[in-house]
Amino acid sequence: MKLTFLGTGTSCGVPVLGCQCPVCTSTDPHDRRLRCSALVETDTTRVLIDCGPDFREQMLKQPFRKIDGILVTHSHYDHVGGMDDLRPFCVFGDIDIYADHRAAENIRHNMPYCFVENKYPGVPKLNLMEVEPHKPFTIGDIMVTPIRVMHGHIPILGFRISQTTTPPKAHELSSLTYITDMKTISPDEIPYASGTDLLIVNALRFTKDHHSHLLVDEALDFSRKVSAPLTLLIHSCHDIGLHEEVNRRLPSNVRLAYDGEVFV
């Protein structure tokens, strides 16, 4: 199983428009963060996690082939704002979108033209599949179990993802947990997030508490709770600091993800 980070930034991306801080003016490409999204791929299946407003830009760098399913964590614009740009991918057939009831309702509301009887020619052909926490489903040879996490007061989804077929080679990723935009999680959910090879979790910045996003220390606490052997932090804003300096401050089994990073 291969994971590609398409974007690792918070809702407004990094650099922030108009900002002249050292991170936003950094020449290190690791300090440029598009909105959060990732691709999970096996030899036969390709799953996208979230489809934000940078989707088009992100997919220009990837091979043009079928997307077998899209996992939606929640319906905030930075996670679903690129769904109209799925149009070119509909040459491979309709696209299945997996979202919880709340996110599915919001997608129907935001893109009504995709769900009417007589569609305008050329609109993206989307099948909304409503999923629930703890009820696993498969897309090709990828198994997904939704996890309930809280984004401030909004219940959203994280995903535990594993490959069902062809035992991965010794060095290959066999499972991962992807959680973004979390602030809190019930202890009952911890077992669903535990025991994967890789944890991906949001960390906005080091200081200044946020009502709906984890800070770095809170993300590190969560990583310890789920005993993650390796943790990668995403959904970071410019206040987190320079990529290289942040990584020096983190424990050896935790680091900041960056746009374009690939794990196999």
* Chain contacts with Zn ion (rule: CB under 5 A): 11, 16, 19, 21, 24, 76, 78, 181, 238
Closest approach of Zn ion to the CB of residue 55, in Å: 14
CB nearer to Zn ion: give 54 or 78: 78
CA–CA separation, 32 and 216 (whole Å): 19
CA–CA separation, 36 and 48 (whole Å): 11
Closest CA to 212 of 231, 240, 184: 184
CB nearer to Zn ion: give 160 or 238: 238
CB nearer to Zn ion: give 205 or 238: 238
Start-end of H helices in the chain: 55-59, 77-80, 101-110, 190-193, 216-225, 243-249
CB nearer to Zn ion: give 75 or 177: 75
Q: What are the distances in angstroms from CA 89 to CA 23, 68, 69, 164?
A: 34, 10, 11, 25
Encoding tokens for residue 36? 């959060």
CB nearer to Zn ion: give 68 or 181: 181
Closest CA to 70 of 94, 34, 44: 94
Q: Which is it for strands 154-163 and 175-179: parallel, antiparallel or unpaired?
A: antiparallel
